């Protein structure tokens, strides 16, 4: 049987905001952040949005729901704070 590796991510994207606000508000260390306008590596490309990522490592599985549940367990206690941030920062 062929092995399948999956990875789940939760991504917040906004035109402009300070990604560290999310980390500070919910107390979960992000996996990756970047700011709109930042240069992408050595290429002549620039970020089109600001992002805050929470991602799981690749795992061998056929069911993405296992990883999605891990993300939900991390985020659920902070649901109201995330809603407030979404409303405040549109």
Provide the pLDDT for residue 68: 92
Provide the pLDDT for residue 1: 63
Provide the pLDDT for residue 48: 93
Query: What region, left, alpha or beta, does residue 41 occupy, with left being phi > 0 and alpha being psi -120 to 50 degrees?
Result: left
Distance CA 27, CA 55 (A): 15
Provide the pLDDT for residue 73: 93
pLDDT tens for each residue of 7-62: 899 998 888 888 888 888 888 888 889 999 999 988 899 999 999 999 888 999 88
Degrees (nearest 5) of the Cα angle 89, 56, 45?
Answer: 60
């Amino acid at each position: 049987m062929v092995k399948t590796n999956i990875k789940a991510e939760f991504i917040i994207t906004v035109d402009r905001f300070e990604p560290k606000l999310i980390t500070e508000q919910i107390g979960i260390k992000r996996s990756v952040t970047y700011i709109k306008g930042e240069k992408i590596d050595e290429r002549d490309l620039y970020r089109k949005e600001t992002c805050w990522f929470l991602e799981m490592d690749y795992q061998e599985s056929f069911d993405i729901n296992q990883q999605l549940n891990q993300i939900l367990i991390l985020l659920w206690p902070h649901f109201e704070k995330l809603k407030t941030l979404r409303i405040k920062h549109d």
